[in-house]
């Protein structure tokens, strides 16, 4: 597997985005999925990607979070894979911020979503070792919750409150397909 254009809502391939994914039992398969997710995320950008987004119904997602020139306050997490993740706890403290998705109109649409500021997650790493992590940064928590939702057949649009739909915004310049067209 290599770079795969993320499946889109409203397409036949995109139906997988609304289904529960199944756990990984074969770690060779898990590693291949992680590698494809990593290549795809590096190519198209973004901070997270889940297996259903590339057409694979498995409980795997990856994140790649680091400070940037535009967002210097982000934590330096780097690339991390989560296989068969389970959210154990989420904080009562929440924040509301804009989210987008590589599988929703090619990342051109953004909407306000409330998410927990922190969480506790158990997962298997790339070597099949069980890990438990407490995530205290609100942005990191948001990304993990967003990607985990994909494994449960949910999109950020389904997490939005009705009153926040009037704040949806579209930015055609964010279309990830342009990275294929212009080789960026």
What is the set of active-site residues? 147
Band of the pLDDT at 180, cuts 50, 70, 90?
confident
Asked whether residue 99 is domain-assigned, the answer is yes
Asked whether residue 173 is domain-assigned, the answer is yes
Q: What is the pLDDT of residue 109?
A: 97
Asked whether residue 41 is domain-assigned, the answer is yes
| Cα gap 123→117, rounded to integer Å | 19
Q: Is the pLDDT of residue 141 over 80?
A: yes
Neighbour order of strands in the sheet with 109-116: 94-99, 109-116, 169-170
Cα–Cα separations (whole angstroms), residue 45 to 13, 75, 120, 130: 21, 17, 26, 28
The domain that contains 136 carries what CATH number?
Answer: 3.90.45.10
Domain range holding 89? 13-181
Q: Is the pLDDT of residue 182 over 90?
A: no
Q: What is the pLDDT of residue 70?
A: 84
Considering its fold, how many domains does the chain have in total?
1
Asked whether residue 50 is domain-assigned, the answer is yes
Asked whether residue 5 is domain-assigned, the answer is no
**Mean pLDDT over the full length of the chain:** 95
Cα–Cα separations (whole angstroms), residue 139 to 46, 63, 75, 97: 13, 11, 8, 9
Asked whether residue 6 is domain-assigned, the answer is no
Asked whether residue 26 is domain-assigned, the answer is yes
Asked whether residue 84 is domain-assigned, the answer is yes
């Amino acid at each position: 597997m290599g770079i795969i254009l993320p499946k889109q809502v409203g397409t036949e391939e995109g139906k997988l985005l609304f289904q529960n994914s199944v756990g990984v039992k074969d770690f060779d398969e898990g590693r291949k999925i992680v590698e494809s997710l990593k290549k795809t995320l590096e190519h198209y950008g973004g901070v997270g990607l889940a297996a259903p987004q590339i057409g694979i119904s498995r409980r795997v997602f990856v994140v790649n979070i680091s400070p940037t020139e535009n967002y210097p306050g982000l934590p330096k997490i780097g690339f991390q894979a989560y296989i068969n993740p389970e959210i154990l706890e989420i904080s009562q403290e929440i924040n509301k911020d804009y989210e987008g998705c590589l599988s929703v109109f090619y990342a051109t649409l953004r909407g306000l979503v409330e998410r927990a500021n922190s969480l506790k997650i158990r997962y298997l790493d790339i070597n099949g070792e069980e890990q438990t992590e407490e995530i205290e940064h609100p942005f990191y928590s948001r990304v993990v919750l967003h990607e985990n939702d994909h494994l449960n057949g949910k999109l950020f649009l389904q997490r939005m409150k009705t009153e926040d739909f009037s704040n949806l915004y579209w930015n055609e310049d964010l279309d990830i397909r342009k990275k294929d067209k212009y080789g960026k």
